[in-house]
Amino acid sequence: MVLRVWRMLFGAFLLVLSPFILASRAQQPAAPTKVVQITGLTGVKNRTKGSLAIEGGNLRFAHAQAKVDLAATSVQDVVTGNDSQRLIHGTLGTLTMFAPYESGRFLSLFRTKLDTLTIQYRDADGGLHGAVFTMPAGQAEVIKKELIAQGAHTSVPTQEGSDNSSSKAPNAKEQKP
């Protein structure tokens, strides 16, 4: 009798905890990545800093004023690449060009590596758009994989390969630095 009661209590306890278990197993959205939108997003100025995340099947670029959502399924091509920029860039970087004894040139030698993420997508009218983002090294490939998992296509398959990859450029490789 006592054993049966314990069993029932244990079952009820598990039932109470089950919603939390399900919530913890649910896929956590990836943390937004800090990026610079070089060009291409509608309604966003060139060279706008913001964050890029994949939420609910959308590629979301958020910056100070607004958010831009793109359905991952509308993305026709995702390609990653490499670039670099001066360690001291922006306004301060420009000012260093006037530093004495050509020290501005010397500072140009110190650079940080960047990843580039290039996407091509279609709008509601079928018009083709392209967008280019730069982000810290190692981030682009992660976003690309997430996009492909959400239904985006690529002409340059990832190392694991993907069924979503189009046959446009089967032998193409990712750009090397």
CB 84 within 8 A of CB 114: yes
Pattern 74-93, another protein, x by CB under 8 A: ---x-x-x-xxxx-------
Query: Burial of 63 by CB count in 10 Å (0-12 exposed, 13-18 middle, 19+ buried)?
Result: middle
Contact between 36 and another protein per CB under 8 A: no
Q: Measured from the CB of residue 165, what is the shortest distance to another protein in angstroms?
A: 15
Nearest to 39 by CA among 134, 142, 115: 134
Q: Tokens standing for 136?
A: 């810290």
CB 64 within 8 A of CB 46: no
Scan residues 106-135 and list those touching another protein (CB under 8 A). 108-109, 111, 116, 118, 120, 122-123, 125-132
Q: Measured from the CB of residue 15, what is the shortest distance to another protein in angstroms?
A: 52
Rg of the chain (C-alpha set) = 23
Of 57 and 104, the one with the shorter C-beta distance to another protein is 104
Nearest to 139 by CA among 53, 72, 58, 57: 53
**How far apart (Å, rounded) are the C-alpha atoms in residues 70 and 40?**
12
Q: Which of the ranges 10-18, 23-31, 57-65, 105-113 carries the binding residues for another protein, by CB under 8 A?
A: 105-113
Of 18 and 94, the one with the shorter C-beta distance to another protein is 94
Q: Measured from the CB of residue 130, what is the shortest distance to another protein in angstroms?
A: 3
Q: Which residues contact another protein (rule: CB under 8 A)?
A: 38-40, 77, 79, 81, 83-86, 97, 104-105, 108-109, 111, 116, 118, 120, 122-123, 125-132, 175
